Amino acid sequence: MYSALTLREAILENLKSRTWRAGHRLPTERELCGQFGLSRGAVRRVLADLKGRGLITQTVGSGTYVSEAVAQALAELSHGESPLATSPAELMSARLVLEPAIIAMVVGNATTADFARMEECCDRGEAAASLEEFELWDGRLHEAIAGAAHNAFISAVFQRMNEVRAQSEWGMLKRRSATPERRLDYQREHRELVAALKDRDGARAVQLCLEHLTHVRRNLLGY
């Protein structure tokens, strides 16, 4: 049994070695599931992350292909693309320290476009037809909030955190703890946090951020 990280690194190695060039068709999701011993959801999360970074494209009814812009996308990852081997407990501890700490920067630096991106992530998460899709847009929302700080180092840290969320252990905990009621709670908490940021209410945004992350930790880890 391999991890989602192993799948991600295997795909990246094929891209970096040019074994798979622009336009190359990747194995199907079913084939990747069988080869790496992963669930369909885990494979889809890895592919969604790579697609979001411009490395691959997906066409409904046709398949997954190496992007025509793969060289540029790989160059953007060259500063250090491999996620750290981090447990869900370690990730939650880091999030509880880092995410509230950047609120003041977000309140001070966020633009109208940043708020529109946050709203889009909320919309897409609420419209998600599966837990995996919801989790993807949940991660994108937190990454968008970090991006609104307009600090390259912070953005890089949060991209790395999202890579950790793509690992199989995090996905397994999410599936075990997921209920329709909890998803609705998360959606409401996301909306309240974005509203506080748009109001430039830093104190309330910090409070809401801490409450949301504590709620997530309790549901995932039981404390």
Q: What is the mean pLDDT of residues 152-163?
A: 85
- Output the pLDDT for position 1: 44
Least confident of 6-15, 162-171, 192-201: 162-171
Quick one: fold of 4-77? Arc Repressor Mutant, subunit A (1.10.10)
**For residues 66 and 212, what is the distance between their CA atoms, to the nearest angstrom?**
37
Closest alpha carbon to 114 in 69, 77, 144: 144
Query: Which letter, b or e, does each residue of 10-26 get, where b requires 16 or more Cβ atoms within 10 Å of its Cβ?
Result: ebbeebeeeebeeeeeb
Confidence band (pLDDT; 50, 70, 90) for 85?
A: low
Architecture category of domain 88-221 in CATH: Up-down Bundle (1.20)
Rg (CA), the chain: 18
Quick: pLDDT tens for 60-78.
889 999 999 999 888 887 6
The b/e string for 164-195 (b: 16+ C-beta within 10 A; e otherwise) is bbbbbbbbeebeeebeeeebeebbebbbbbbb
**Residue-level pLDDT at 78:** 65
| More confident: 222 or 216 | 216
Read off the pLDDT band of 10 (50, 70, 90).
confident
Q: Is the pLDDT of residue 149 over 80?
A: yes
Distance CA 12, CA 55 (A): 9
Note if the pTM is more than 0.85.
no
Residues 122, 123, 126, CA angle at the centre, nearest 5°? 85
Q: What letter would DSSP give residue 25?
A: B
Domain ranges of the chain: 4-77, 88-221
pLDDT of residue 168: 58
Q: Would you tell me how many other CB atoms lie within 10 Å of the CB of residue 51?
A: 15
